[in-house]
Structure formats: structure tokens, C-alpha cells
Structure 1
């Protein structure tokens, strides 16, 4: 089976800028078997590749997301890539395998805004859990921030860890990928999202690093789903107001920016959206022998 996969730099700081997180997009008439989609994602080699089917309903798009290791429920930066090539000034419905239907809007400038699920929070405050997380990051306790370590999900669960400064984020912390993968398996999360509320950049709410070795991604330059969850966590603890801007990818030389809007009603979070832009950057043809899988 031969498929053409478009390449995008997603969640770049500005159009045409160096940075962002690469995503593959394969537009197909119907979804191939999961084994084929996994093989295609592995051949492409990006953290995620999206497979897209235009349905018979106007502006309704079905999407499935695959890492080189297999399917994941949702992917923010790949969603931004998928819809950046759609007609602008339009609203869409994205059908997902497990998250139901999510709203996506593309503005006149090509900026994509995607809805995420309402957040869930599960604190990890037991001493044994905190010690294991600190050990996985090779991080002294004194460098932790004051936002409690929490598993948050707005579609995909991650372990969120607040550290004191950008210096800690980049120069003190030394993540152990095997340990992070083991903790992610233990707590049934995608990975770990580490952030500081004392970023070096004045125009961002938080600077972040994301690790998902359980799914073959040691570090990711821009993570849309985690950004929505982080925004929800910060508002939940009264540490930020909406709208928010997150930076990520600096340590990788791939600076990225993710916008986040959290809506509330009577002190409860009622909506989570993330936004960004994506630039096309080529593509490739992938031929997979389905009979060998």
C-alpha cells in the first residue's frame, strides 16, 4: 500500500520561523488497518502522523493519530497540521476514535484553534510517588515549584511537574528516559510535562519540556494536548489567567509557541482550547507491504 504523507512544522512561533514540532499528515479515502498506519508512522519517523478521512458530511473530518509505536487517542500539534491546509475562515468537526467530536476553527490567517475535552485532575502527592518522579528527573526536591505534581488530562493524561526556574528546567534536571517510561506505564500516562512559571521570555506564561519515552518520544518540541492540560492546571490552582502562552522546544533548538484559552463558569472550567500555526515542509511517499505485517 502506497501513501503520500505531507510534512508540517507545527506550532511554530511565527509563520516561516525555525522550530515547531514536525507532524505527518496522510489524507486517505478510508482508514487502512492499524498495523499499516503504525508502519507508515514509523517510516515517517515523526512523533505523530495523522490519518485523515473527509466524511460525506460538510466540514466533518475523521482523524486517527499514530506514533511509531502505535495509535494514540489525540494529538494537538498534528491536529494543527491537519487543519492548517483546510480552507480558512471556517469551522470544522473532528471525529476521533475515543475523544468523540471536537470543534476546530481556522481563522483568516491560518491559525488553527482546537477544542479539547474538559480536564480531569489526579494529584500525585504521596511521598513515594514524589520521590520516584524526582529520581526519574534527577531533580533535588529543593528545585520543585509549588504547584502540586498532578496527572491532568484534556484528552491525553500526563504527569505535570512544576520546577522553580528555566535554569532548573534546562541545566539542573537530567531526565532518565527509562525511569520516565516506567512511571508513565505505572500511572497510565503518555509521559511527563515539566514546566516553570519563571521563564526567560517575558511574553509567555510558562516554559515547558515534554517527555514521552513510553511511546518512543524522548522529548517533544511542542505538545498541544499537554498545553491545554497545563492551562487548566494553572487556572485550577489560581496561578494564571486566560489567555495563556506556552513556549517549548528551546533545549532541542526547535522553539515553539502554543496558545491556550480556558473558559470558566462559577469557578469551574467549562472549556479548553489550544491554538497555533503550522508550515508545510515537504512530504514523502511511503510504500508498506501490508501482507508482511
Structure 2
């Protein structure tokens, strides 16, 4: 049997968020077993945390179908749990991942921030590439559709309004095909909020190529979005995103950017979380 802790990360007012499975100190598990555990749990990602020779912790991330190099919400969930169970003795940590060594920061208020890679801006897509995926009339043509990565490649898709975003009905088979063709994890659709709002944008994230039709909170894609907005919309040091409304799991994701001469040199994603349950699964 394997002990699993279920923690929701990027919660809003201690509800909602995105659940991840956490398994600690089981270096004996094979990749096949880890994937089987992730599949049985059924969450978008499950993190496996072990000792590291290179950092404070080693984290591996599995979806129900394969291993991925990085997962924002599962990492935030991990440090939320370690903080809640008084397993942390300092505020700054490092983690070893397949995306490299990344730094973590835990605030006195329990908010956890995770370093991402600096952005890589890739190709710009036309709205026609979405013809088979969704109603292209909903796309905001004033700003580009672009692939950006701060650890995972996502297509950033601007949508005209939060109402149009809410009404999106993607063809997931076509979107999976587009994701495969563009070598991305998925599509991060967003609508900008009014400038006086404390929320920068409302988002929906689709990753059907990885058997995740929609996800309620995604750290890496919102980091990519912050870098996109820094380049095309407004240069700020902090962006706040909300996601998960269509899944009845409202989530809040905060992204901080550090810059030098208008160039991004640091990307950090942060949020709160809470313990949902612990359970045992067989392998």
C-alpha cells in the first residue's frame, strides 16, 4: 500500500483550487507504478517526493498517462503540506525537477511561491488554426495567439470577454491534435479584466492531449500568461489570475516577475492551499 495525501493548491478563500496527489519517501516505486497510482487517483498530476543529492527535495510528476517535467500546482501543494505539518524549518528551499533545479519560498502567511524558468517566446499562430477547435469569433484579434514556456509549452489564446470565455465549448479531439502538432501541453485561454479590477485575467486551461479536458488551476501556464502580458499588454511586477469557474472550483494564482531593463529575469508563481484528505492505494 502507498500512503497518498491529497492537497488542493491555488485555492481561493480556502476553497476550490486544483487537487494533486502527494506521495512521500517511496524511492522504491517504478515509473509504471507511479503512473498507475496517478491513474487510480485520477487527478491531473500526482507528485512523488524523495531525497535529492542536488537540492532539498526531488520531485517527479505523473499524469494518468505519462511523466511530465514540471507541475506548478503539485509543487505548491507539496510545500503547502510540508508547511501545514511543520516539516519546514526555513523560508527558502530548492527542488530538483526534470525542468532543472528551482527555488521555492514559503511566506509567514503560508503562501508558497515557486520559481519558474525565464520565458521562451515561440511561434505565433493564426486564429484559423483553431477553426476545428472552437468558435473563432470568440478570439480577441487585437493581441496575438502565441506559444510561450516557463517550463512547459502552452498556447496563449486571448478571448474577447469573460462571458465568451465561459461559453467556450472546445472540440477536445481537434484541440488534442493541434496540441500534438504544435508540441505543446495545451491551450491557456484568457480574458482580460477591467483595469481597476484586482484580477488581471480570468482563465481556462485545456490539455486534452494529456487526458485533461480542463484544469481548475495551472501554475506554469499562468506564468507564461504573465510573461505574455508583460510583453504585449502591461508591464507589471505582479499579476493575479482566477481560473476554474466552469469546474465550480474557483482558484487564484499569483505571478511575480522580476525584471532588469524591461527584460524578465525571474518568474515566480504563488498561491495558498489546504489538505483535502489522506488515503492509501495499492500498487
Range into which the TM-score falls when normalised by the shorter chain: over 0.9
SS in structure 2 of the partner of residue 239 of structure 1: coil
Q: What residue in structure 2 maps to residue 285 of structure 1? A: 280
Deviations 1:141-185 (A, max 9, x none): 6x42422000010000001100111011012x2211101100110
Match of 1:276 among 265, 271, 277: 271
Superposition map of 1:216-255 within 5 A: 216-255=211-250
SS in structure 1 of the partner of residue 178 of structure 2: helix
Q: What residue in structure 2 maps to residue 119 of structure 1? A: 119
Instruction: Name the Cα RMSD after superposition.
Output: 1.8
TM-score (norm 2): 0.93
Unaligned segments of structure 1, at least 5 residues = 289-293
Tell me, yes or no, if the aligned pair for 1:104 and 1:113 is still in contact at 8 Å: yes
- Cα deviation, residue 135, structure 1: 3.1
Deviations 1:121-140 (A, max 9, x none): 11323x4xx31224312232
User: Could you say if the C-alpha distance between residues 55 and 78 of structure 1 is closer, same or farther in structure 2, counting changes exceeding 3 Å?
Assistant: same
Deviations 1:223-259 (A, max 9, x none): 0000111001110124341211000001111000000
Q: What residue in structure 2 maps to residue 94 of structure 1? A: 95
Please state if 1:24 is matched with 2:21: yes
User: Could you say if the C-alpha distance between residues 201 and 26 of structure 1 is closer, same or farther in structure 2, counting changes exceeding 3 Å?
Assistant: farther
Deviations 1:51-86 (A, max 9, x none): 0003367x7100000000110110000000011122
Superposition map of 1:158-173 within 5 A: 158-171=154-167, 173=168
Deviations 1:252-284 (A, max 9, x none): 110000000111111211111000011001022
User: Could you say if the C-alpha distance between residues 31 and 51 of structure 1 is closer, same or farther in structure 2, counting changes exceeding 3 Å?
Assistant: farther
Tell me, yes or no, if the aligned pair for 1:197 and 1:207 is still in contact at 8 Å: yes
- Number of aligned residues: 278
TM-score (norm 1): 0.90
Q: What residue in structure 1 maps to residue 8 of structure 2? A: 9
Unaligned segments of structure 2, at least 5 residues = 83-87
Tell me, yes or no, if the aligned pair for 2:39 and 2:64 is still in contact at 8 Å: yes
SS in structure 2 of the partner of residue 195 of structure 1: strand
Matches of 1:67 and 1:197 in 2, distance apart?
30
